[in-house]
């Protein structure tokens, strides 16, 4: 007996369309930045129509932020999200304030709080500078990844190498706060290898599938 499948669920179709839009936006935004990509290009690549952007995200800016968020939460190495954020820093767009509020500031705040717990005598401005220094070290390896690998400094596709670099950054950062070498090593021994990066803080006003206004 031949069994014919029933009609495709509208909910499944909506989910597929949303994911297709995110996939298309991820490629285009990472290649050309926010300002260099038009809505029509995204929907054509996704095989959707312009109304789908409005239905699922509300605005191009909300789609952009949803793309960054998905990469940070689900990306294999978050490289695409990093490329998008670095491009935003080099070529600021109308989404800059959102990127700062939703992705940069929460991480900077957490690092600043951690620095002040380790060295309570620091003023807030001093702790913020230390936090920026730590973030800059991490971003350096992202930004100059081809150079780091081309010079044979580290293979950033290797979990062991990423772990080694993370510990190097931790040692330098803790030493800059005045922590003694033996205490640093004891602290690092308590951290499991390949623990993986923590999930970033959930941004305020996270874009949803029901449409987001700017």
Given a contact cutoff of 8 angstroms between Cβ atoms, the answer to whether 142 and 79 are in contact is yes
**Would you place residue 142 in the very low, low, confident or very high pLDDT band (cuts 50, 70, 90)?**
confident
CB 40 within 8 A of CB 9: no
> Rounded mean pLDDT of the chain?
81
Q: Which residue has the higher pLDDT, 39 or 69?
A: 39
The CATH H-level (homologous superfamily) assignment of domain 10-77 is Homeodomain-like (1.10.10.60)
Domain definitions of the chain by residue range: 10-77, 95-205
Cβ atoms of 72 and 104 within 8 Å: the answer is no
User: What average pLDDT does range 207-212 have in this prediction?
Assistant: 38
Q: How far apart are CA 149 and CA 128, in angstroms?
A: 30
Phi/psi region, residue 58 (left: phi>0; alpha: psi -120 to 50; beta: rest), is left
Most confident of 85-99, 162-176, 193-207: 162-176
Contacts of 83 (CB under 8 A, 6+ apart): 30
Q: Is the pLDDT of residue 163 over 80?
A: yes
Tokens, residue 95:
């989404």
Give the per-residue pLDDT at 201.
46
- What is the average per-residue pLDDT within 17-46? 93
Residue 25 pLDDT: 94
Q: What are the CB-based long-range contacts (under 8 Å, 24+) for 124-132?
A: 130/173, 130/176, 130/177, 132/108
Q: pLDDT-based confidence at 146, cuts 50/70/90?
A: confident
For position 13, what pLDDT does the model report? 52
Write the pLDDT tens digit of every residue in 44-55.
Answer: 999 999 999 999
From first CA to last CA, the distance across the chain in angstroms is 53
pLDDT at residue 77, rounded to an integer:
53
Pair 77, 177: CB distance under 8 Å: no
Minimum mean pLDDT among 102-106, 139-143, 180-184, 194-198: which range?
194-198
Quick check: 195 pLDDT over 60?
no
Return the pLDDT at 84.
81
pLDDT reported for residue 46: 95
Cα–Cα distance, 164 to 180 (Å, whole number): 19
Token digits of residue 112 = 């600043």
């Amino acid at each position: 007996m031949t069994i014919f499948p029933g009609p495709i669920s509208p909910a499944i179709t909506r989910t597929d369309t949303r994911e297709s839009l995110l996939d298309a936006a991820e490629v285009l935004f990472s290649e050309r930045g926010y300002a260099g990509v038009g809505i029509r290009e995204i929907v054509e690549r996704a095989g959707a129509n312009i109304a789908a952007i409005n239905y699922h995200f509300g605005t191009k800016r909300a789609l952009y932020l949803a793309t960054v968020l998905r990469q940070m939460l689900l990306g294999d190495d978050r490289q695409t999200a990093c490329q998008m954020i670095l491009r935003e820093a080099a070529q600021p767009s109308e989404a800059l304030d959102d990127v700062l509020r939703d992705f940069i500031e929460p991480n900077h705040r957490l690092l600043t709080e951690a620095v002040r717990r380790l060295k309570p005598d620091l003023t807030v401005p001093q702790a913020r500078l230390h936090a920026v220094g730590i973030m800059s070290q991490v971003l350096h390896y992202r930004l100059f990844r081809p150079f780091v690998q081309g010079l044979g400094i580290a293979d950033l596709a290797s979990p062991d190498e990423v772990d080694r670099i993370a510990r190097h950054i931790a040692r330098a950062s803790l030493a800059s706060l005045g922590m003694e070498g033996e205490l640093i090593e004891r602290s690092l021994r308590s951290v499991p290898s390949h623990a993986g990066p923590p999930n970033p803080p959930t941004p305020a006003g996270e874009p949803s599938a029901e449409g987001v206004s700017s």
